[in-house]
Structure 1
Amino acid sequence: MLRRWPHKRERWALLSLGGGLLLHSLWLVSLHVTHTGVMVPALIGMVLLALALWGAAWQRWVHSRAWRVQLWRWGRWGFALWALSVAAYFVWLTHIGTGRPVDQAPQAMVVLGSTALKGKPSPTLAQRLNVAYGWAQQYPRIPVVVSGGMDLGQTVTEAQAMAEYLQARGLSPQRIVLEEKSTSTYENLVFSAKVLRSVGVNQDAPVLLVTSDFHTPRAGWIAARAGWRNLYAAGAPTPLYLRYNAWLREYFACISGWLFREY
Structure 2
Amino acid sequence: MIVKLIKYGLVLIFTYFVITNIVIYLYSKQNPAPDADTLVVLGAQVVGTPAVPHYSLAQRLDIAFDYLQHNPRTKVIVCGGQGKNESATEASVMAQYLIHKGIDPKRVYQEDKSTRTAQQFVYANRVLPLGKTVVVTNDFHILRSLMLAKRSGFNEISGLSAPLGWENGDKYIALIREPLALANSWLFDHPNND
Pick from 237, 242, 247: which aligns with 2:170? 242
Q: Which residue in the other structure is 1:177 paired with?
A: 109
Instruction: Trace 1:1-263 onto structure 2 (pairs within 5 A).
Output: 71=2, 74-99=5-30, 101-102=32-33, 104-118=34-48, 119-197=51-129, 203=130, 205-240=131-166, 241-262=169-190
Contact 1:112 1:209 in 2 (8 A): yes
| Inter-partner Cα distance in structure 1 for 2:121 and 2:178 | 17
Deviation track 1:178-204 (CA, whole Å, cap 9, x = no partner) reads: 11000111111110011113xxxxx4x
After superposition, the Cα gap between the structure-2 partners of 1:261 and 1:149, relative to the gap in structure 1 and judged at 3 Å, is closer
1:113 Cα offset (Å): 0.7
1:261 Cα offset (Å): 4.9
Task: Give the AA of the match of 2:94.
Answer: M
Contact 2:118 2:190 in 1 (8 A): yes
Structure whose alpha-carbon radius of gyration is higher:
1
Task: Give the AA of the match of 2:143.
Answer: P
1:156 Cα offset (Å): 0.5
| Inter-partner Cα distance in structure 2 for 1:248 and 1:151 | 23
Task: Give the AA of the match of 2:138.
Answer: S
Structure 2: where are the runs of 5+ without partners?
none
Moved more, 160-169 or 177-186: 160-169
Percent identical pairs in the alignment equals: 31
TM-score, structure 1 as length reference: 0.65
* SS, match of residue 96 in structure 1: helix
How many pairs does the alignment contain? 187
* SS, match of residue 137 in structure 2: strand
After superposition, the Cα gap between the structure-2 partners of 1:125 and 1:186, relative to the gap in structure 1 and judged at 3 Å, is same
| Inter-partner Cα distance in structure 2 for 1:247 and 1:173 | 36
| Inter-partner Cα distance in structure 1 for 2:175 and 2:41 | 19
1:99 Cα offset (Å): 3.7
1:100 Cα offset (Å): 5.4
Q: Which has the higher contact order (CA 8 A, sep 6+)?
A: 2
Structure 1: where are the runs of 5+ without partners?
1-69, 198-202
1:150 Cα offset (Å): 0.9
| Inter-partner Cα distance in structure 2 for 1:224 and 1:109 | 15
Task: Give the AA of the match of 2:190.
Answer: E
* SS, match of residue 191 in structure 1: helix
